[in-house]
């Protein structure tokens, strides 16, 4: 009797058009995820490493005075300061490359978060959890976020969330997650 009740409430395995069982797991995207991860992290790591390498390569190590009588009263001896014999404009140029590159990388952050969001939508659909599924307009907003990852997509969400468009409904976890990551990316860029 117990095994019969388990089969009544078990989630059915999806079947394709040919009658073969299909997997409910998302597969084949490991390369896309790794590419997005490395495209997001490696340029920033490389630029930060280049900046630190320049600073530590051209660092000036100040020697302590032999006698306190020879010490100058300039007040410039600060242990928290790193002196560098390198052009300040060149250091600023290398540092500015990071700020130039950051807006380009927002799309990769949105790509990375889109996989867990898609999985949650897939599981909600399989479990018939209608509350967790996005409405068609919410799905449109999420697709817009993935497509361009710009502040304009965030603006459309703000209009929707505040009721300016007249279509306000309860927002599920997928839309909240996408919006949170896009907001964070736009602010940090």
- Over the stretch 2-20, which tens digit does the pLDDT of each residue have? 454 444 444 555 666 666 6
Alpha carbon distance 35, 43 (integer Å)? 12
Same domain, 83 and 126: no
* Number of structural domains the chain divides into: 2
Within 13 A of 34's CA, how many CA atoms are on the CB side?
4
pTM of the model as a whole: 0.62
Same domain, 121 and 98: no
Is the per-residue pLDDT at 161 higher than 60? yes
Alpha carbon distance 71, 65 (integer Å)? 6
CB within 8 Å of 6: residues ≥ 6 apart: none
Mean pLDDT within 128-154:
87
Report residue 109's pLDDT band, with 50, 70 and 90 as the boundaries. confident
CA angle 45, 53, 64 (to 5 degrees): 140
- Look over the chain and give the mean of its residue pLDDT values, rounded to a whole number: 79
Report residue 70's pLDDT band, with 50, 70 and 90 as the boundaries. low
User: Domain of 165?
Assistant: 105-188
Same domain, 179 and 119: yes
Same domain, 97 and 112: no
Q: Is residue 126 part of a domain?
A: yes
Q: Is residue 109 part of a domain?
A: yes
Q: Is residue 34 part of a domain?
A: yes
Instruction: Write the CA distances from 162 to 14, 72, 123, 180, integer angstroms.
Output: 38, 63, 28, 16
Alpha carbon distance 60, 150 (integer Å)? 43
Mean pLDDT within 103-129:
87
CB within 8 Å of 149: residues ≥ 6 apart: 106, 107, 109, 110, 182, 185
Partner residues linked to 15 by β-bridges:
21
Same domain, 88 and 123: no
The predicted structure's pLDDT at residue 42? 93
Same domain, 38 and 94: yes
């Amino acid at each position: 009797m117990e095994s019969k009740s388990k089969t009544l409430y078990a989630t059915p395995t999806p079947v394709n058009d040919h009658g073969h069982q299909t997997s409910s797991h998302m597969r084949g995207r490991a390369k896309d995820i790794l590419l997005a991860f490395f495209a997001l992290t490696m340029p920033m790591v490389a630029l930060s490493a280049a900046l630190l390498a320049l600073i530590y390569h051209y660092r000036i190590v100040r020697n302590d005075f032999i006698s306190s009588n020879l010490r100058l009263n300039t007040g410039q001896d600060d242990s928290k300061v790193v002196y560098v014999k390198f052009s300040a404009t060149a250091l600023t140029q290398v540092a500015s490359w990071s700020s130039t590159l950051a807006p380009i990388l927002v799309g990769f952050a949105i790509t990375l978060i889109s996989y867990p969001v898609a999985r949650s939508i897939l599981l909600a659909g399989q479990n018939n959890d209608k509350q967790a599924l996005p409405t068609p307009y919410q799905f449109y907003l999420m697709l817009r976020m993935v497509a361009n990852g710009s502040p304009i997509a965030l603006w459309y969400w703000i209009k929707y969330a505040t009721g300016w468009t007249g279509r306000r409904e309860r927002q599920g976890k997928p839309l909240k997650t996408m919006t949170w990551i896009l907001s964070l990316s736009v602010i940090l860029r």
